Structure 1
Amino acid sequence: MWIHCPATSTSKKPLTGNGQGFCFLKWMKIHFAPDMAKYRKVRKLTPEQAAYLAGLIDSEGTIALTRKHRGEHRQLMVSISSTEQPLLKYVKKVIGAGRITNKCTYQANHTPSITYAISNRQALDVLGQVRPYLKTYKAKRARLILRSYIRLTPRNGKYTQALLKERDVFINKFLRLNPRQQSLIKPLA
């Protein structure tokens, strides 16, 4: 008896002795899927946690569209820098995703600094939860990102010319929202 296996170059493979068909895709999933990196979901934040993180982002953080390598499209990144490692460990624990890295110190009298960073869809999820509590120009950046980032960033990375033009307009608008041109967001009355 023969079965079809989509993962092999030939379209038919014999059944094994136990009556089960052997499929390379199934074998790979069983043996290698547990070792593959898992996409970590961002935790649901309480209002207090979201407000606290918004304060950290407003004061010591960055909401940016960065390139990891020359020539790549920009990716969303939210980061918080500090000299207090326990603070950033708390942020990572509360959010449930992201990474902490050491920054280089170039002078002996500088205190070593570290950065918490989260990017792409995970950063988008964090921004969705903290945006109501942001008070600086970063609130406008977060609002723009939440409104347009998903639509202008296909998951497969394939952009049409029209989408690339629209994305360039979006990036320029985003980059114009900076601290020199913005005042504090007015509280709701």
Structure 2
Amino acid sequence: MTRRSGETYDQIAGLDIATTAYLAGLIDADGTISVSPGKTGKDGQPHLPTPIVLIVNGDLELIRWLKEVIGYGCSYETKTRPKRPDQSDSNWNKVHRYQLGGRAAIAFLAKCRPYLREKRRQADLVLSMPSKGKAFAVVATVEQRARAFEAMEKIRALNRRGLKPDPIPEAA
């Protein structure tokens, strides 16, 4: 997996088995595998959806460690204070977030996939999606776009809270 600049995702590729399995466990427990719908291009066609991996946790040091170990993505603090009247500062835990997107997310999911349990179907769907062009934007055929948006809908169904669709869609 290479970046636009030709740089490879060596830090992700070099993760050892124990670290990779631990990271997969974090994704299963505190993570989300999803895709962000693409913008519309100058030709009026939607860009391909962009893969995203999120891990949310109350331990800021863990979130910073993820950024350091994986080497890509961003980490930041969110939900620093309550938003609703029924919530109080004295009973509010901060939540922190690590986010990885695009080709780095694909490389990371490919590395973690053998160790995923709960989020394996979402990973399979992301890994089956076409990814072409700068920022998943250009040179995608109509068929590739249709496959990508079909996979996006399946991922969203798997990520929905509550009862899952029956049967849960399999990877394309």
TM-score (norm 2): 0.70
- Note if 1:51 corresponds to 2:34: no
1:42–1:97 CA contact under 8 A, matched in 2: no
> Whole-Å Cα distance in 2 between the matches of residues 92 and 81 of structure 1?
13
CA distance in structure 2 between the aligned counterparts of 1:111 and 1:56, rounded to whole angstroms: 19
CA distance change for structure 1 residues 68 and 115 in 2, over 3 Å: closer, same or farther? farther
Distance in 2 between residues matched to 1:42 and 1:97, nearest whole Å: 11
TM alignment of 1:30-109, pairs within 5 A: 41=9, 43=11, 44-67=14-37, 73-107=48-82, 108=89, 109=91
Write the distance in 1 (CA, Å) between the matches of 2:10 and 2:157: 29
Q: Which has the higher contact order (CA 8 A, sep 6+)?
A: 2
1:84-163 correspondence to structure 2 within 5 Å: 84-107=59-82, 108=89, 109-136=91-118, 138-146=119-127, 148-149=128-129, 152-156=130-134, 157-158=137-138, 159-163=140-144
Segments of 5+ residues of structure 2 without an aligned counterpart are 41-45, 83-88, 166-172
Q: Distance in 1 between matches of 2:47 and 2:95?
A: 27
The alignment status of 1:181 with 2:164, answered yes or no, reads: yes
In structure 2, how many angstroms separate the alpha carbons of the residues matched to 1:84 and 1:106? 16
* Aligned-partner SS, 2:104: helix
Contact (CA 8 Å) 2:49, 2:149: kept in 1 or not? no
Query: 1:68/1:90 Cα in 2 relative to 1: closer, same or farther (>3 Å)?
Result: farther
Larger Rg: 1
Normalising by structure 1, report the TM-score: 0.65
Q: Cα deviations across residues 56-89 of structure 1 (Å, max 9, x unaligned)?
A: 1100111011248797653111011111111112
Tell me, what secondary structure is at the counterpart of 2:93? Answer: coil
Unaligned runs of 5+ residues in structure 1 are 1-36, 183-189
CA gap 1:127/1:38 in 2 versus in 1, 3 angstroms:
same
Aligned-residue sequence identity (percent) comes to 27
Separation in 2 of the partners of 1:97 and 1:155? 20
**Alpha carbon RMSD of aligned pairs, Å?**
2.6
Larger mean CA deviation between 157-166 and 117-126 belongs to 157-166
